[in-house]
């Protein structure tokens, strides 16, 4: 048994499958996760203190794109080596979906470089994936704090998006606030199931949706 294989097996045993992906190959993955973040929750929790663009006064953002993440059936790819980076024109073009410029750069380095796409094509894939998702009407306008169940949020997204199934969407929370809706997509950006993502969904009975400000 080679030393490299021994190290890989030790990493799986000690740190789990997601930590043993040092040999990730860009473009070799099973599916995507489109992560939609509820911007008011992010801004209330940490984004406001960072003065992120999406949290500035008058930016009435609801759901924004956090990222489009290449995934294995178990675990995920991350930090694939690259010398490429999104150009300024590409960053500006995606600002309506991802207004924080630093987030765009981070998501490319962390996840996009593993997609096997160029930076421009990766950002285009993000737009294509987001455009196929219909936001439930209940989340189009929220002007006060609302208590919701993660199950109800999931059901609303399923109802608004024919073809989306319970095993293909996961709601995340930070214990108090709803944070993200994560939707699993095929490499061709169709809906699909994703057991490994779904099992990490929020288990709270009720969470808060902070208002859009």
Alpha helices of 53-204 — where are they, by DSSP H?
88-93, 101-110, 119-131, 150-160, 195-198
Q: Model pTM?
A: 0.88
Residue 1: the pLDDT is 47
Residue 58: the pLDDT is 78
Which residues carry out catalysis? 66, 107, 111
Report the CATH fold assignment for 26-209. Answer: Ribonuclease Rh; Chain A (3.90.730)
Q: Give me the residue spans of the domains in the chain.
A: 26-209
Residue 23: the pLDDT is 67
* CB-based contact 112:122 (threshold 8 Å): yes
Reported as a single tens digit per residue, the pLDDT across 79-116 is: 999 999 999 999 999 999 999 999 999 999 999 999 99
Task: Give the whole-angstrom CA distance, residue 209 versus residue 111.
Answer: 27
Tell me the longest C-alpha to C-alpha distance in the chain. Answer: 61
Tell me the C-alpha to C-alpha distance, in Å, between residue 157 and each of 116, 150, 154.
29, 11, 5
Listed as ranges, residues in the chain with pLDDT below 50 are 1-21
Residue 68: the pLDDT is 98
């Amino acid at each position: 048994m080679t030393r490299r294989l021994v190290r890989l097996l030790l990493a799986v045993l000690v740190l789990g499958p997601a930590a043993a992906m040092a040999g990730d190959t860009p473009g070799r993955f099973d599916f995507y996760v489109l992560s939609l973040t509820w911007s008011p929750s992010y801004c209330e929790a940490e984004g406001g203190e960072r003065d992120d663009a999406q949290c500035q006064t008058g930016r009435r953002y609801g759901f924004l794109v956090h990222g489009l993440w290449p995934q294995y059936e178990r675990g995920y790819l991350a930090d694939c080596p690259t010398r490429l980076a999104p150009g300024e024109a590409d960053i500006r073009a995606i600002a309506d979906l991802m207004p924080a410029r630093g987030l765009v750069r981070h998501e490319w380095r962390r996840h996009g470089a593993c997609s096997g796409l160029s930076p421009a094509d990766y950002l285009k894939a993000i737009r294509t994936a987001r455009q196929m998702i219909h936001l439930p009407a209940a989340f189009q306008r929220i002007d006060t704090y609302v208590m919701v169940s993660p199950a109800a949020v999931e059901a609303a997204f399923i109802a608004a998006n024919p073809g989306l199934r319970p095993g293909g969407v996961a709601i995340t929370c930070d214990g108090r606030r709803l944070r993200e809706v994560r939707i699993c997509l095929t490499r061709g950006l169709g809906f699909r199931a994703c057991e490994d993502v779904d099992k990490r969904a929020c288990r709270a009975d009720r969470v808060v949706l902070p208002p859009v400000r």
